[in-house]
Structure 1
Amino acid sequence: AELAAREQMELESRQQISELAPLRTEFIEVKYASAAEIFGLFQSAGESGGEGVVSTRGSVIVDERTNAIIITETIERINKFREVLDRLDVPVRQVLIEARIVTATSSFGESLGVRWGTLGYGSYDDGNINTQFGGSLTTVGEIRESLTAGGGLAYSQEDNLIVDLPAPGNASSFAFGIIGEDYLLDMELSALETEGRGEVIARPKVITSDKQEATIESGDQIPYQEASSSGATATQFIDAVLGLTVTPRITPDDRIIMDLEVSQDSIGAVFAGIPSIKTNRIKTQVLVNNGETIVLGGVFQTVVSESVEKTPILGDLPWLGSLFRNKTKQDDKQELLIFITPRLIRDSLTSR
């Protein structure tokens, strides 16, 4: 009881000193935080039963224009306020976040084709009427065109082929011809092999503060016409963008927790006048060391196709069937990888 009475007397003594202490007005500038938010924190502490910023004798004014607090209080309370403010009014740490979207493609195709034709010639017994059959390439060129039939009538033969199944595009070819007394045979073998490789790297970057969401987008708005029920048409737009949305949280040991979404859109096929959008998107949360690069995910796609053009029945013959068909094989591969690298920005760089 005696100890409790002594503590009560000390408390009353401090209150009397505080009530009699002179008041002082100070202008306190808040550098990094919001002055209104700082004052709100102190007010909440007082309303919840803690020690507030000001006593019944003092006053506080928040000047939002200069982001400052004007406080009128005893020197003891002002010093306590400054001590807490120094802990709260610190620069917000920032993070540079870089994403890399790597799309690697490779393709390989091969095609083998053939073109050939024959030309036969002769005459009736009177030697005045000539006959021709089959078709021919231009392999033998001027030799074939200068042929003169038995009746003395010269002729030329166009490209009327029996089999015309060449390799597509600028294929390499090997041609030869055989000329007999009453026939001509032309043949051309063509082959094409294509190989291609490509790599596309997109690198969106964004700087944001700790616990603040940031978004960066770059792309196109694709217009298309849309008809309404009344028959009128209006122009609508579809977005095809490369985007990065991220919210970082810096841990006490300088690691970064990131809630992020990375997307890469591209224009696809058009259906009924409306373009489609090919979308690659990933949404996840990761914990990464400062400056470390990690792979968020990836997609590997491969397409193998084989097509055969042939003359019915003849193209299925063993050995000889190759003279009546064209064969094409295509092998396409695509790989998508998404990397992310966060880097903490030092305060010295931020203040420059």
Structure 2
Amino acid sequence: MMKKLTYLVARVAFLSVVLAAPAWGIAAELPASANRLQAVDVTALPGGRLNVQLQLSQPLTTAPLSFTLSNPPRIVFDLPNTMNATGKNVLPVSQGVLKSVQVAQASDRSRVVLNLSKPVQHQLQVQDQVLLVALAQEGADVPVAAAATAAKRFAEPEAAAAHKIQKIDFVRGKNGEGRILVDLSDSRVGVNVRNAGKTVVVDFADTELPEEFQRRLNVVNFNTPVLYVDALRHHHQAQIVIEPQGDWEQSAYQTDRRLVVDIRPLVKDPNKLIQGSKQGYAGEKLSLNFQRVDVRDVLKVIADFTGKNIVVSDSVSGTVTIGLKDVPWDQALDVIMKSKGLDMRVNGSVISIAPAEEFAAKEKAQLTAEAERETLETLRTEVFSLKYQKAMDFRNMLLGGGTSTAGGATSGTSMGGSTGSAAGRMNRILSPRGSVTFDARTNTIFVQDTPKKLEEIQAIINKVDVPVKQVMIESRMVIASNTFSKALGARFGISQTGTPGSNSNLSIGGTLGNKATAFTAPTTAGGTGTFTLGNQGGTIQSATLNNYTISSNGQPDLMSNLPVTNAYGGIALSLLKLSANLLLNLELSALEADSRGKVISSPRVTTANQQKARIAQGVEIPYQSATSSGATAVSFKKAELSLEVTPQITPDQRIIMDLDVRKDSRGETLPGGVAINTQNVQTQVLVGNGETVVLGGIYEQVSRKGTDKVPFFGDLPVVGYAFKRNTKQEDKTELLIFITPKVMDETIALN
């Protein structure tokens, strides 16, 4: 009798289970002038109708933005610039179709969620400082047209013009979800998101859909759960029908004038009670308060609350005392099992609960039976044709070894048993009785093993025998230079005139010091000789030299010979006649250059994932070198622009690159060979797909100043400039290297 009374108390306690929803956001500080939600009251009316009254500190000017959800059934609306002053986040109701009211503050607004047991019609009305939400009678499902009409009444003033959809777009999220983006003409459009069979339907109340958007979007190539998105007119409203595939879950939210619907892939975890992308416990919240109740009865209470099929082992026994308030039901179940040393296994909609030791013993016995059955099972032979993998490499993988790099083999056989090292036997995919043979010419492998192992090998081939992703790496090397040089020099001397009978000679134009070539000296005093002046383009024959002073190399003898190399301009003067055949000559030469340049090198290369690639362009410079025997040999040095890279694509579509970028150029020639000017960067970087990274810059600045002069004379004021040469040079060079990797995948297009 006492046990029966205890179980009755437990059932009564279960009837007082309180549902709650997770918090929506984090409260933010609002100004003192912000509106405040002070209280939430629920009033039951005849006919099963309910009125939800929200008491505010300030009157509302218009009805708030609202939308409905059908799975689970909820009515959601936001109160802008409003603070939650009720002191609670969840208010239990359990009257009619209304289960609870959730209030959460986030940023500059508060969101109110009415959790329902089933979809019903509703209407919002503003009465000064009270927002009234009227719910229809229990059991009245919401037809689409009625929901659209209700949405129009609460979503906008009656005198407002019709709304309009301005844009419909589809993008793929970074986690593989399909995201439908709908831009609206204003933020007061009534929106209803619901599930209709295997599709998701979004209704827009009293909203115009332009003809250009009334079409089907084929988004199969985006590799998301969404196959098609249809936009169409339905009665007097716009409608978007989303057709997903596989296992998925949905969420929808609206920010200002944009509605976002996410369809996420759902990866099922067989040992997870609540499937979905949420982390931790995600079940509906409940409260439990039991004193020394049989643990099997508590598990039955949870089964009744969740509607799950729970099978409890006969070895589960004992009592439990537990007090939980507003916790997810899957967390409550986990707490109970841990307190009693229990474990669970999930198979579809059935949850099996037993002591952990019992599960371990059953699984161990099952593995032992499978191993014994495998030793007696008949072997089968199957042929697998590989498309992208090499047969030898895949054979080594089946045997538990690494990738083979040996060449020349066209076929090979590996048997089971004790073949291979101990590590290879532990890592092998084949069973101990299995064997594998390959033919390199047809890229085919022949496997003999149990049917179960053959199925596993086929699954592995489906995973690994796929095209390797390729990466295109584009490198831009920008070399910017700024060069400035300035020089001033002079040549000064006294020379004899070479033309007989002349009493004076004046030349302007830089003729001083033109080198005489093909010079023949006179053999006797007053005799004749010949020489050629380079700038005259001819030969003066039978000239009386009259002791014209020319050095042995044909260059006039000068007192000061400090000209500018490769001068752009000059002036030569015969300043003073000392005698009938002697002249005082002066030549000034100058050079000033200012140049700016930019050289852009853009090598690019495409390679497979985790495969090294190298591209180079340049010249091989010959030079002479002495061999060990003393002979002279011609050797070569490379001066090239090269890019060497090994990319690795990460699961989140980013690229890790080992880079070696080199920019060589020819330097000065030395007695031992040719110098090579090298600019090189070696590094490892992580870059997003299509993004550009700057590896680094090399900045060089060279400043040179110099003076060459004749001692003493070069130091004289003013006159000293005729006896010296001044040079000034400034060179600035900067090298920047930009790298842009792109994963080469099939073209993604929106039809």
Q: State TM-score, norm by structure 1.
A: 0.70
Contact 1:290–1:344 (CA under 8 A) maintained in structure 2: yes
Separation in structure 1 between the aligned mates of residue 740 and residue 453 of structure 2, nearest angstrom = 46
Contact 1:93–1:347 (CA under 8 A) maintained in structure 2: no
Separation in structure 2 between the aligned mates of residue 115 and residue 49 of structure 1, nearest angstrom = 87
Shift of 1:197: 2.6
Structure 1 residues 197 and 89, CA, compared in 2 at 3 Å: closer, same or farther?
same
For 1:224, the equivalent position in structure 2 comes to: 624
Shift of 1:193: 1.6
Contact 1:95–1:210 (CA under 8 A) maintained in structure 2: yes
* Aligned with residue 467 of structure 2, among 91, 107, 121: 91
For 2:399, the equivalent position in structure 1 comes to: 43
Return the letter of the residue paired with 1:87. Answer: K
2:651 aligned counterpart, secondary structure? coil
Contact 1:54–1:60 (CA under 8 A) maintained in structure 2: no
Shift of 1:74: 5.2
2:677 aligned counterpart, secondary structure? strand
For 1:71, the equivalent position in structure 2 comes to: 447
Return the letter of the residue paired with 1:310. Answer: K
> How do 1:111-130 and structure 2 match up within 5 A?
111-114=487-490
For 1:194, the equivalent position in structure 2 comes to: 593
1:48 aligned counterpart, secondary structure? helix
* Aligned with residue 713 of structure 2, among 311, 314, 320: 314
Contact 1:97–1:342 (CA under 8 A) maintained in structure 2: yes
Q: State TM-score, norm by structure 2.
A: 0.36
Structure 1 residues 235 and 20, CA, compared in 2 at 3 Å: closer, same or farther?
same
1:37 aligned counterpart, secondary structure? helix
Separation in structure 1 between the aligned mates of residue 598 and residue 610 of structure 2, nearest angstrom = 34
Shift of 1:6: 7.0
Shift of 1:284: 1.4
Shift of 1:116: 6.9
Deviations 1:284-341 (A, max 9, x none): 1111222222222232222222232434333323344445443222222222222222
Separation in structure 2 between the aligned mates of residue 88 and residue 75 of structure 1, nearest angstrom = 20
% identical aligned pairs: 41
Q: Give the RMSD, CA atoms, in angstroms.
A: 4.3
For 2:650, the equivalent position in structure 1 comes to: 251
**Does residue 388 of structure 2 align to residue 32 of structure 1?**
yes
Structure 1 residues 136 and 195, CA, compared in 2 at 3 Å: closer, same or farther?
farther
Shift of 1:72: 4.3
For 1:62, the equivalent position in structure 2 comes to: 438
For 2:639, the equivalent position in structure 1 comes to: 240
Contact 2:470–2:606 (CA under 8 A) maintained in structure 1: yes
Contact 2:481–2:733 (CA under 8 A) maintained in structure 1: yes
Separation in structure 1 between the aligned mates of residue 708 and residue 361 of structure 2, nearest angstrom = 109
Structure 2 runs not aligned, ≥5 long: 1-356, 401-422, 496-500, 510-545, 550-555
For 1:126, the equivalent position in structure 2 comes to: none
Shift of 1:254: 1.3
Contact 1:137–1:187 (CA under 8 A) maintained in structure 2: no
For 2:683, the equivalent position in structure 1 comes to: 284
* Aligned with residue 138 of structure 1, among 474, 492, 507: 507
Give the number of the structure whose residues are more often strand, by fraction. 1
Separation in structure 1 between the aligned mates of residue 722 and residue 695 of structure 2, nearest angstrom = 52
* Aligned with residue 566 of structure 2, among 164, 169, 172: 169
Structure 1 window deviating more from structure 2 (6-15 vs 215-224): it is: 6-15
1:85 aligned counterpart, secondary structure? helix
Contact 2:479–2:735 (CA under 8 A) maintained in structure 1: yes
Contact 1:137–1:186 (CA under 8 A) maintained in structure 2: no
Structure 1 residues 101 and 246, CA, compared in 2 at 3 Å: closer, same or farther?
same
Structure 1 runs not aligned, ≥5 long: 120-129, 141-154
Deviations 1:228-281 (A, max 9, x none): 1x4344443333333222211111111111112122223323333422222222
Bigger relative contact order, structure 1 or 2, given CA contacts below 8 A and separation 6+? 1
Separation in structure 1 between the aligned mates of residue 637 and residue 716 of structure 2, nearest angstrom = 53
Shift of 1:85: 2.2
**Does residue 742 of structure 2 align to residue 343 of structure 1?**
yes
Contact 2:700–2:734 (CA under 8 A) maintained in structure 1: yes
* Aligned with residue 701 of structure 2, among 302, 311, 325: 302
1:318 aligned counterpart, secondary structure? coil
Separation in structure 2 between the aligned mates of residue 67 and residue 106 of structure 1, nearest angstrom = 59
> How do 1:4-19 and structure 2 match up within 5 A?
none
Structure 1 residues 218 and 192, CA, compared in 2 at 3 Å: closer, same or farther?
closer
* Aligned with residue 430 of structure 2, among 53, 56, 76: 53
2:399 aligned counterpart, secondary structure? helix
Separation in structure 2 between the aligned mates of residue 70 and residue 259 of structure 1, nearest angstrom = 38
Contact 2:492–2:558 (CA under 8 A) maintained in structure 1: yes
Aligned positions, number = 317
